[in-house]
Structure 1
């Protein structure tokens, strides 16, 4: 029996705040669970939290990444003229999105069918680690599974505001140190990337 591939297509925003909180937003247009959003957060003390819209989605993500706490509730995002706003549980954050970054322009060279192919992503993973410290394109997803990050576009996050239960988390900062949810993080420079994530389950 062949392995089974689960594909998630959408965008990921990775950034930090001057208050020491690091945030990775998942904005998924298509997935085995339909369209949904989630947030992975690591605070200044290193506590890792997942915000997810359903228990089913939280269970899947938690078998792939590691968290100290999980919160289920209403999670969603809205497109704005200059960026996007994400609201989930106690987190309320607004991002201003700029133009394509040098990384994004470089990604255009690779045709999308190649850029999201797990064989290609496994091959370039060592190079990706060198060119974008903190980021990877292939690795373990736990329980005998493999995960592949196929990034097809990248734009800079140029400004951000964020609050937690109404308390200000500060303004935009680098995603540094890297978050510790799983095998891969995101570039230290705040980015919004177009991505196809493939989780390969063993036969």
Structure 2
């Protein structure tokens, strides 16, 4: 009996991960190209451990919540303005407001710029990088299993430090920039402990016959 090949989907963009002194940890996905078009989504783990997804549309919420684990999912206006010249991000996502200052390329980033990014070799590159990530990057994993029988690979190709943040949840100040400690618990991998913006291509294999993104 022949087993149908899985459907493969690629998301190309950036992942920003940072903590705050209040205890909230935040992961921002800025996706320039994807099966759902261009969008930004935000994963938030509050100081008490509550995991919240802030998604701009129902189709985004369905895809992300089907791949990762959350205690609450909210479809809210999500906007991200990136000032590349000044290296600043301005994020507005429902109750969350965050202004990020982005610094120079990290030491890891200087190595990542040499990583091949072609889709055909992406899973191989991510699989080769996974033991290195486990050794040097704490809770970071570059391959693993996700929700609903999906498999996932992260292929990073650049990384810059986040040097400052001003973040509010509603009217409550979340405090100054802090490491992502403890690691976030949305899936098999956390973002790096050090606050960073990573250029990344995410590849997801969905079991054949499952609903396509956006359908």
> What per-residue deviation string (whole Å, max 9, x for no partner) do you get for residues 2-27 of structure 1?
22111100101000001100000011
- What's the CA shift for 1:116? 6.2
CA 103–114 in structure 1, closer or farther in 2 if over 3 Å, else same: farther
- CA RMSD after TM alignment: 1.4
The structure in which a higher percent of residues are strand is 1
- Aligned 8 A contact 1:115 1:150 in 2: no
Consecutive unaligned residues in structure 2, runs of 5 or more = 209-215
Give the aligned partner of residue 96 of structure 1: 101
- What's the CA shift for 1:145? 1.3
CA 173–118 in structure 1, closer or farther in 2 if over 3 Å, else same: same
CA 133–116 in structure 1, closer or farther in 2 if over 3 Å, else same: farther
- What's the CA shift for 1:73? 1.2
- Aligned 8 A contact 1:86 1:93 in 2: yes
- Aligned 8 A contact 1:13 1:191 in 2: yes
So what's the TM-score if we normalise by structure 1? 0.96
Consecutive unaligned residues in structure 1, runs of 5 or more = none
- What's the CA shift for 1:83? 1.2
2:125 partner SS:
helix
Once residues 62 and 97 of structure 1 are traced to their aligned partners in structure 2, the CA distance between those partners, rounded to angstroms, is 28
Equivalent residue in structure 2 for 1:73, among 67, 76, 82: 76
- What's the CA shift for 1:114? 7.9
